[in-house]
Amino acid sequence: MSATAIVAASSASAAELEVMHWWTSGGEAAAVQQFADAFNATGNTWVDGAIAGGDAARAVMVSRLTGGDPMGAFQFNHGRQAEELIEAGLLRDITDIAEAEGWLDLVNPPSLLEACTVDGRVYCAPVNIHSWQWLWVSHGAFEDAGVPVPTNWNEFVAASDALEAAGKIPMAMGQQGWQQAGAFNVFMASLLPSNVFTSVYGDKNIEIAAGEDVASVFAAAASARDMAANSNVQNWNDATNMLITGKAGGQIMGDWAQGEFAVAGQVAGEDYSCLPGLGVNPRLS
């Protein structure tokens, strides 16, 4: 998944640029500030247009673009919706900038820039790339429960009863559907043997998809659901904060969660751990 900054086709003055995005959590806001500081250092002015929630932000962005009131630049996920905006002539062609700054040599992997390219022309700038497959673990919660900090998913599940007995919520998870769907995809990528994963997603093999390996993924998802039963927060960063404050044992979330720990002054390996591939299969995508 890569978010991109896309420049709208607008005649607004370059001296003052309204930038719309949905990076509003503590860690995200700190990252956006780096962009703003760099832009302001050029003598121009960054006008921040943060909107909480990707779905809400995208709706406002599209409405303003199609309504003739475009922002100067905005965060967006590449894909068909972005292509439709390009086809409608609503986004600025920035190929000359990409060529002048040598983006082909800078952007890695090259597929990120390809996602910003339509008919050989560049319309957006890749600004990040993330992986979903991480299990974040609160050291404080496990220390309070009197059990070792887990190093993989199986150890995490085995410690869930001790966490509950200590008044902790084993699994922190927000109530938004994308978080639950993302966690399930993490189970598929992390718990399935690579050949089974390829057979299911690449070959579309129905028999393999109905087999024991995939059934074990559904069992893991059911365990996660049970462990998160008392996690009543809505947003992903609120769930992350439950780990930071020692109220929950773990969270399945993308590597963007690291920013929340950093802003809170926590140290990896001391206050929290992050286990790639749930500590089972460090295959990241």
Q: Rounded to 5, what percent of the chain is helix, strand, coil?
A: 45, 20, 35
* Domain residue spans of the chain: 3-126, 134-279
Rounded to two decimals, what is the model's pTM? 0.81
Per-residue confidence (pLDDT) for residue 3, from 0 to 100: 57
The answer to whether 253 and 240 are in contact (CB under 8 A) is yes
Residue 30, burial from CB neighbour count under 10 angstroms (0-12, 13-18, 19+): middle
Is residue 242 within a helix (H) or strand (E), and if so which, with residue range? helix 236-244
The Cα–Cα gap between 254 and 133 comes to 6
* Type of residue numbered 242: M
The Cα–Cα gap between 88 and 108 comes to 29
* Closest listed residue to residue 5, CA positions, set 53, 72, 55: 72
134-279 has the same fold as 3-126: yes
Which pair of structure tokens corresponds to residue 6? 């896309």
The per-residue pLDDT string of the chain (285 residues; one tens digit each, 9 = 90 and over) reads 455 666 665 555 558 999 999 999 998 999 999 999 999 999 999 999 999 888 899 999 999 999 999 999 999 987 788 888 898 899 999 999 999 999 999 988 888 888 889 999 999 998 888 899 999 999 999 999 999 999 999 999 999 999 999 999 999 999 999 999 999 999 999 999 999 999 999 999 999 999 999 999 999 999 999 999 999 999 999 999 999 999 999 999 999 999 999 999 999 999 999 999 999 987 677
The Cα–Cα gap between 251 and 196 comes to 25
Per-residue confidence (pLDDT) for residue 5, from 0 to 100: 63
Q: Which residue has the tokens 């910003």?
A: 116
Q: Which CATH class is domain 3-126?
A: alpha beta
CATH topology of domain 134-279: D-Maltodextrin-Binding Protein; domain 2 (3.40.190)
Which pair of structure tokens corresponds to residue 105? 């040599």
The Cα–Cα gap between 20 and 57 comes to 8
Query: Vertex 183, ends 181 and 185: CA angle to 5°?
Result: 70
CA atoms within 13 A on the CB side of 95: 8
Per-residue confidence (pLDDT) for residue 123, from 0 to 100: 94
CA atoms within 13 A on the CB side of 247: 13
Span between the terminal Cα atoms of the chain, in Å: 9
CA dihedral for 59, 63, 69, 74, sign (positive or negative): positive
Give the phi and the psi of residue 276 in degrees, each rounded to 5. Answer: -65, 140
